[in-house]
A = this chain, B = another copy of it.
Amino acid sequence: MLTLYYAPGTCALASHLALEYAGAPYETVRLNFKEQQQRSAEYLKINPKGRVPALVTERGVLTETPALLQYIAQSFPQAKLAPREDAFLLAKMNEFNSYLCSTVHVNHAHGGRAARWTDDAAAMETMKQKVPQTMGEAFALIESQMLQGPWVLGERFSTSDLYLYTLTRWLQGDSVDVNRFPKVADHFQRMNAQPQVQKVLAAQQG
């Protein structure tokens, strides 16, 4: 049994979706970020970073979305969530996931989490103001260069689709109109319609 620690609205949705698509045996534990449960002594024993997602396995705890996505795909190969047989295509999946993690997520975090990188309230405000621009530029690059269509890797569905869907959900809150990016908007609608996505969203919001 795998146990996923998550909070609604976070990037942990991608790993939650991966577990569902994989048909993995799993349970979830919801953290209340408003009550700072991710900073509790109890949770810091599980993940000293004080972040989600964290996946408790028989061997120990795993963190970081790109690592979790590949691990889940590798552990449940019949679900074909990663092109494991093709080193180049697998690298394209990891390249995409790494871009979302280290650039797109980071851009977004300068809205609500600017205190990670400055102690100055006025500076935080300037960082927040730039988020629509940086998120818009990142999604313009995804639209023009990365999203092959119909899925991120082309005909092959993969963890990158789960992760892209997760971060696309943030655009509205970041004041970026997804319809500026027709391929991304189409991808988002198709993902929204999938029963696994609806099931996981209902579970997170229930």
On whether the beta carbons of B110 and A117 are closer than 8 Å, the reply is yes
Out of B59, B94, B106, B123, name the residue touching A102 (CB < 8 Å): B106
Cβ-based interface call for A202 (8 A): no
Q: How many copies does the complex hold?
A: 2
Cβ-based interface call for A105 (8 A): yes
Residues of B within 8 Å of A141, CB to CB, are 48-49
Choose, from A18-26, A62-70, A179-187, the stretch at the interface.
Answer: A62-70
On whether the beta carbons of A134 and B116 are closer than 8 Å, the reply is yes
For residue A109, give the distance in angstroms from its CB to the closest CB of chain B: 9
Cβ-based interface call for A118 (8 A): yes
Residues of B within 8 Å of A106, CB to CB, are 102, 106
Cβ-based interface call for A168 (8 A): no
On whether the beta carbons of A91 and B62 are closer than 8 Å, the reply is yes
Cβ-based interface call for A75 (8 A): yes
Residues of B within 8 Å of A88, CB to CB, are 57, 59-60, 62, 71
Question: Can you spell out 23 A-B residue pairs with CB atoms less than 8 angstroms apart?
Answer: A48-B145, A59-B88, A60-B88, A60-B92, A62-B92, A63-B95, A64-B94, A66-B66, A66-B94, A67-B95, A67-B97, A71-B91, A71-B94, A98-B102, A102-B102, A117-B117, A117-B127, A117-B130, A118-B123, A118-B126, A118-B127, A119-B130, A123-B126
17 additional A-B residue pairs with CB within 8 Å, beyond A49-B141, A67-B95, A116-B134:
A62-B91, A63-B99, A64-B99, A66-B66, A66-B94, A67-B91, A67-B94, A68-B91, A74-B90, A94-B94, A98-B102, A117-B130, A117-B134, A118-B130, A120-B123, A120-B126, A123-B126
Where the two chains meet, the residues of A that have a C-beta atom closer than 8 Å to any C-beta of B are 48-49, 57, 59-60, 62-68, 70-71, 74-75, 87-88, 90-92, 94-95, 97-99, 101-102, 105-107, 110, 116-120, 122-123, 126-127, 130, 134, 141, 144-145
